[in-house]
Amino acid sequence: MVSRCAFSRSSLVRLAIAASTAALLALPCAAQSSSSSQPQFSPVAENNSQPSSAPAQYSSSAEWRQSLATYDLAAAPKASASAQYGQYGRRTNNRYPYYQNRWSHLAFEIGAGPTAPIGNAARDGWETWGYNVTAGVGWNFSKYLGALVEYQFNRMKIPGSTLTALAIINDTGTPIGGNINTWSLTLDPIIYLPAGHSMGAYVTGGGGFYRKVTNFTEPVLSTQCDPYYFYCYQGYVPVTVAHSSSNQAGANLGLGLYWKVFGPESNAKLYTEARYVWVNSPLASVSDPYGSGTEGFIPVTIGLRF
């Protein structure tokens, strides 16, 4: 009876040890099976809180967002750091002027100054110092090249010694006056030679149509009325008594300096220039007794150019 109870207890102990060992061995397998059996969700299912029937593409929303960010960076076009045409930047400093539209190529000028005669007209005593007025309009093709259609008016006096000799020859008994007017319409290309951002030089020249007019005047006593004070008086007024004119071709060549007075990014330039002008005017003849022959003079002009 005693030996039967002892056998029974020994068997129970053995069975308990075996069951414990089996349970410990089964725990890792159960944990791995539970982890692999969790359901996968797609990005659409996560956002809509509904499971997707399509196979999962990403294991988590974090991986999905990271993938989209990588795609956007790769697909986005790279921005150019260089200045575009018409904008102000390092590149636009090499252009003249800073074009914004087709009308920004337009150029114009206005100026005035003294004129000095040279050549046979000055040597023979037909002309002395006078003045000039210049205006022009044209097109700037680039920072370095442009072209202008220019109108220039030059008025020079006839020396007093020549006028006195003519008065004696004509036996008028009264002093006479005289002047020579030469106006022109020419096409003149211009080449700019920048020496910095604000200053430089240029070369210009061209040719076209010239008209030369010689006038002789005498003082004539006449009655003059003042339109502002409403009274009249007698006085001497110069009246043209002799006239000579001719139309001919001519040419000019000049050098100048310019300064961008309003800043390096402005198209406005203060300029000064000197030109040599040659006019193929006729010699004296029966039909034109006051012709002085080929005319040459140097107009010095100061003005503003855009």
Per-residue pLDDT of the chain (306 residues; tens, 9 = 90+): 444 444 455 565 566 666 666 655 555 554 454 444 444 444 444 444 444 444 444 445 555 555 545 544 444 455 444 444 444 444 444 444 444 566 778 999 999 999 999 988 788 788 999 999 999 999 999 889 999 999 999 999 998 888 887 776 655 567 788 899 999 999 999 999 999 889 999 999 999 999 999 998 888 888 878 777 777 877 788 888 888 888 999 999 999 999 998 888 888 899 999 999 999 988 777 777 777 778 999 999 999 998
**Tokens 């005047």 belong to which residue?**
217
Whole-angstrom distance, CA of residue 196 vs CA of residue 218:
54
| Closest by CA position to 235, among listed 248, 253, 222, 254 | 222
What is the model's pLDDT at position 55? Answer: 47
What pTM does this model have?
0.63
Tokens 């300096």, residue? Answer: 257
Mark 52-91 as b/e (b = at least 16 C-beta within 10 Å).
eeeeeebeeeeebeeeeeeeeeeeeeeeeeeeeeeeeeee
What's 105-305's CATH class? mainly beta
